[in-house]
A = this chain, B = another copy of it.
Amino acid sequence: MTNYCFGSDNHSPIHPTILNYLQEVNTGSMKAYGYDPITVEAELEFKKAFGDKTEVFFVFNGTGANILAIRSFLQPFNAVICADTAHINCDECGAPEFINGVKLLYLPNENGKLTIENIETRLHDRGDEHHNDPALVSITQSTELGTVYTLEELKELTEFCHSRNLKVHMDGARIANGAVSLGCSLKEMTTDCGIDVLSFGGTKNGLMMAEAVVFLNTPAPKWIRHLRKQNMQLMSKMRYISAQFLPYFRDGIWKQNALHANNMATLLSDSLKAIGVEVTRPTQSNAVFCKIPKDLKAKILPHYFFYTWDEDEDEVRLMCSFVTTKQEIDGLIDFLR
């Protein structure tokens, strides 16, 4: 039977504490659409985690969070600057173009990280009516390639962007893995670094389905609730999204899960190197990229499923999650050996 543990961190189940907590809130009638006491509690947890000015709006999935974040600040004549490897560019079936109407100015990059030099190449001729005006830079932390921006890099980048009248969005689908990698708090890596708006991801780190758009250093637009509703991201029985965040923050599940996933990735990366497999990207969070020849891959896939990253280069991606075990890593290594 195929084991899907390395396929993606969203192949994982829900952390038991989270699902148990849904039982606790499953009592009686409550107002819908986020006007219930559970959601109010969850909003307070976000303020605790990210600072007092924080405003949070829950949505269904990561695409929903990214699209709403973009829509909060941009009009269709604007452009988003991002890495060409960004999830908003590669894996949302063009929702930014279709829903937001904006242009993505996607840039070649090294290991998923944008640099100031790179961004600068797209800041010519601003104000010309023939060109989308860049208004937002979107970065991913940890990146789609498993790397992590340092706090220093984040601060320099947001400072530069703000000086050029660009907001900064962080796609935090794996924000917990990023923070754990840096050994800092969520706030230190976001609010304190000048991030304007964050897509906060919980689904890949032990939640069922719980994402949020979080405004940190720039207030949410006045009509944010209308934008969310029109974007089809307003849940009626909201308490079942918001409740997931209560144990997630209060019991430190976010950190514990991410730490486990990152540690497993490090172990996997080291084990691969030890048997001579070429690891192609720095292993800084819960993703490991390495080279596996096609014939070997064909033999392993029925046992351990994973995605090919670059067909031509034989590069594959192995993700770890909060449920990845040492046994699974050993099992995979055995096959590779």
Contact = CB atoms under 8 A, between A and B. Distances in A.
A236 B61 contact: yes
Query: What band does the interface of chain A fall in when counting residues whose beta carbon is under 8 Å from B?
Result: 35 or more
Given A129-B234, A203-B237, A208-B240, A94 B90 contact: no
Contacts of A323: 28-29
Contacts of A208: 22, 237, 240
Contact of A75 (B26, B29, B223): B223
A226 interface: yes
Interface in A17-75: 19, 22-23, 26-33, 60-64, 67, 75
Q: How many copies of this chain does one complex carry? A: 4
A209 B12 contact: no
A93 B226 contact: yes
Contacts of A94: 76-77, 79, 101-103, 132, 230
Given A16-B26, A29-B321, A209-B240, A232 B60 contact: yes
A294 interface: no
Contact of A91 (B101, B124, B130): B130
Given A235-B60, A235-B209, A4 B26 contact: no
A132 B76 CA distance: 19
A231 interface: yes
A12 B29 contact: yes
A133 B226 contact: yes
A12 to B, nearest CB: 6
Interface in A250-298: none
Contacts of A11: 29-32
A272 to B, nearest CB: 20
A229 B93 contact: yes
A203 B7 contact: no
Contacts of A229: 63, 77, 92-93, 95, 129-130
Contact of A99 (B99, B124, B133): B99
Interface string A93-115: 11101110111100000000000
A97 B102 contact: yes
Contacts of A28: 4, 13, 323
Contacts of A103: 94, 97, 104
Contacts of A209: 235-237, 240
B60 A130 contact: no
Contact of A129 (B60, B76, B226): B226
B31 A13 contact: no
A105 B13 CA distance: 35
B32 A13 contact: no
A316 interface: no
Given A19-B23, A240-B208, A76 B98 contact: yes
Among all A-B residue pairs, the 7 with the closest Cβ atoms: A10-B236, A129-B225, A98-B101, A77-B226, A4-B29, A94-B103, A93-B230
Given A63-B229, A91-B131, A133-B226, 20 more contacts: A3-B29, A4-B29, A12-B237, A14-B240, A16-B26, A19-B22, A19-B26, A60-B60, A61-B234, A61-B235, A63-B232, A64-B232, A67-B232, A92-B130, A94-B132, A97-B103, A129-B226, A208-B240, A209-B237, A232-B232
